[in-house]
A = this chain, B = another copy of it.
Amino acid sequence: MSGSMVVVGLGPGEARFLTPEAAEALENADALYGYLPYLDRVPTRDGQTRHASDNREELARAGAALAHAADGAHVAMVSGGDPGVFAMAAAVIEAIEAGPDEWRTLDVKIVPGITAMLAVAAKAGAPLGHDFCAISLSDNLKPWELVQRRLELAAQAGFVIALYNPVSKARPWQLDKAFDLLRAALPGTVPVLFGRAVGRVDESLRVVPLSGARAEFADMATCIIIGSAETRIVERVGLPSLVYTPRSSKGGA
């Protein structure tokens, strides 16, 4: 029997975001691997084994899953959001590149999902309606100086900026530093969206001007969207405001 590896995006949380393709891939797997809170979202099925690991052990998790697939199992690696955006797909392929030759013979498939910034944007309106970028604020895997340079260039370019991994216990000061840096480059009125656990029952969205944005509004479950100078807020009486970035731009980035 020939094994396979599928990396499955669960989307932002509730089952209403899980695509039929992802549901089918989970159903057909002999074994599920992943970070425990993601595994907990998947209904259990008789005969299917589960292999939970901690948040920070991505390469080890990928290697264990690939070894299992190379033994002939149909293995699914579960990932929150989209597996290709700051998630497990790159770790699995990195492990294949570094691993034994037989891992390159496996049937490998990536099943996309709704990534966090799309869910936060949908809840807020259409802040990603114009050119944008997505940056992981974590400096675990790249130098902080590179994060800073990217933020500066993104602001210069007039990109809306989605920030993944904005804070963690080990990275408490980086987000405030990022806001300071962006305040030097963008108007203080630029809307900043803090989407926490969006797509889950406890979701919340806070919108503040860049001048008042603070790291304490975010935690590990937060995805942040920082508008451009052209992002607008449409006020509504008795209803949440709609935040959007117009499709057209005059070019004054």
Chain A residues within CB distance 8 Å of chain B? 11, 15-21, 24, 58, 82-86, 89-94, 96-97, 104-105, 107-108, 110-115, 118-119, 121-123, 125-136, 141-143, 145-146, 149-150, 153-154, 156-159, 232, 234-239, 242, 244-251, 253
A238 neighbours in B (Cβ, 8 Å)? 105
Count of identical protomers in the assembly? 2
What is the CB-to-nearest-CB distance from A24 to chain B, in angstroms, rounded to a whole number? Answer: 7
Complex Cα gap A27–B242 (Å): 25
Instruction: Give complex CA distance A132, B85 in Å.
Output: 9
Identify whether the interface residues of A are mostly helix, strand, loop, or mixed. Answer: mixed
- Distance of A158 from chain B, by nearest CB (Å): 7
Known contacts A97-B234, A112-B118, A114-B112; A90/B126 CB under 8 A: yes
With known contacts A84-B122, A85-B118, A118-B115, A244–B16 Cβ distance under 8 A: no
Asked whether B131 lies within 8 Å of A135 as measured between CB atoms, the reply is yes
A159 to B149, CA, bound (A): 11
Are A122 and B242 closer than 8 Å at their CB atoms?
no
